[in-house]
Amino acid sequence: MKTIFLATYLAIKEIVRNRGRFLLVSLVIALITLLVLFIAALGEGLGNGNRQYVDGLDAQLIVFLEKSDYIIPSSRLDTNTIRAVRRVEGVADAGAIYTSNTEIVSLEEPLKVSMLAVEPGKPGMPEILEGREFRSGEAREAVIDRNVALRSDIKVGDTIEIRSTQGTEDKFYTLEVVGLTSGQSYSFQPTIFVPSATWEKIRPQSESDMGSDTPYPNIIAVKLQDPAQIEAMSALLTERVANIEVADIDTTISNIPGYSAQQGTVQTQAVFTLLIGILVIGGFFQIQILQKVPQIGVLKAIGSANGMVGLSAVIQIIVVTAMGVGIGGGLTYLFSLGFPPTIPLVFNGVNSLIAVVLLLLIGPVGGLVSIVYAVRIEPLKALRLG
């Protein structure tokens, strides 16, 4: 107890009396914090742009075409599959999902969006926040997600025009916006939802696809009666339904084209930034300890225990790091207020917390060498010997 008190006393006194120097190091840590938190937010934002829709599905399993390697665009299921899936016992509900890209042209700046066709009331249809779901069938109605609303001034009740390249021609279709959902980005684009029969008519398609009236879903979202039975149900579905393969949500997300590679890149950046942080802190405290050798020698000569001197160094590093992380967190918050919604920054509580904990650890880890060095300094140094 006395050791902790003495160590804290020394550590705090030194920081207060040399506040300029310590503040400078704190600011370096603050900048590293800013960088790490922004990279984490960017990773989350980019990841969200890719996975937000799939992540939010009210389903536990996704059915793909056999041998599609869980890649959504390469999977196209037979129309009967949905009925077969619904018949399997243990399946609470299932909804077909059809994916494509299009462009809203009835805006000053055309907006590229994902156009997803889903079945109202089935898994795949996100919850409506405002307005209503579209009627099924061929209704020329659309539900937009919040990302569309953020990037344009489209509101429920508006009419939008989309462009699809079908065969060799550009076709234009008008849709009435009837509802709004939360953010449902897919494939880095904001999303509009349409009924499946409408989708089949208005989606971009190649010459060979044209003329068909039957929409083929890419995937089926399956909601289980018992969400804990993911593995058993996955096996059962594969056994009962022909020509499919089944993945859980996490597998589906990591197989979204580019998703894993992108997250890997972002994480590598974050890790290297943390490593740089460790080196910076390590360097600073090592240089500082080298300058303080005589002082530490005196402290020990007059009867300070090694543990107290070491603890004092630890406390100092923790205080400086915590201050830096605190300032950095504040700066990050201030900066984040000024960022436009088009930059994919998402501050996820869990990720930010992990980043902050790692940042708080870089101090002690970086300062480890200097702490060991401080503990090992011989008190004889005070007497010009040893």
Partner 1 sequence: MSDIALEVRDLVKTFSLDGTTINAVDQVSFQVKFGEFVALVGPSGSGKTTLLSILAALLTPTSGQVLIDGQDLSAMNEKTRVKLRREKIGFTFQANNLIPFLSARENVEFMLRLNGKLDHGSRIRSDELLARLGLAERLHNLPAQMSGGQQQRVAIARALIHNPALVLADEPTASLDTERAFQVVETFANLIHENGRAGIIVTHDLRMCQFVDRVLQMQDGKLVRVYDNKKEIMELATATIH
Give the residue with the Cβ less far from partner 1, 22 or 193: 22
Q: Which of residues 81-110 bind partner 1 (CB under 8 A)?
A: none
Q: Which among 88-96, 123-131, 298-306, 349-357 is the span making contact with partner 1, rule CB under 8 A?
A: 298-306
**Residue among 105, 150, 156, 305 that touches partner 1 (CB under 8 A):** 305
Give me the least distance between CB of 290 and partner 1, in Å please. Answer: 14
Q: Which of residues 172-191 bind partner 1 (CB under 8 A)?
A: none
**Residue among 301, 318, 319, 322 that touches partner 1 (CB under 8 A):** 301
Tokens representing 268? 């590598």
Strand 169-181, strand 141-145: pairing: parallel
Is 331 an interacting residue with respect to partner 1 (CB under 8 A)? Answer: no
Counting residues that bind partner 1 (by CB under 8 A) gives 28
Give the residue with the Cβ less far from partner 1, 18 or 268: 18
Give the residue with the Cβ less far from partner 1, 23 or 150: 23
Is 2 an interacting residue with respect to partner 1 (CB under 8 A)? Answer: yes
Is 4 an interacting residue with respect to partner 1 (CB under 8 A)? Answer: no
Is 220 an interacting residue with respect to partner 1 (CB under 8 A)? Answer: no
Give the residue with the Cβ less far from partner 1, 10 or 96: 10
Give me the least distance between CB of 183 and partner 1, in Å please. Answer: 52
Give the residue with the Cβ less far from partner 1, 81 or 304: 304
Q: Which of residues 14-73 bind partner 1 (CB under 8 A)?
A: 14, 17-18
Q: Which of residues 126-165 bind partner 1 (CB under 8 A)?
A: none
**Residue among 294, 334, 339, 376 that touches partner 1 (CB under 8 A):** 294
Rg for the chain (alpha carbons), in Å? 29
Give me the least distance between CB of 26 and partner 1, in Å please. Answer: 17
Is 380 an interacting residue with respect to partner 1 (CB under 8 A)? Answer: yes
> Which residues make up the interface to partner 1 (CB under 8 A)?
2, 6, 9-10, 13-14, 17-18, 294-295, 297-306, 378-380, 382-386
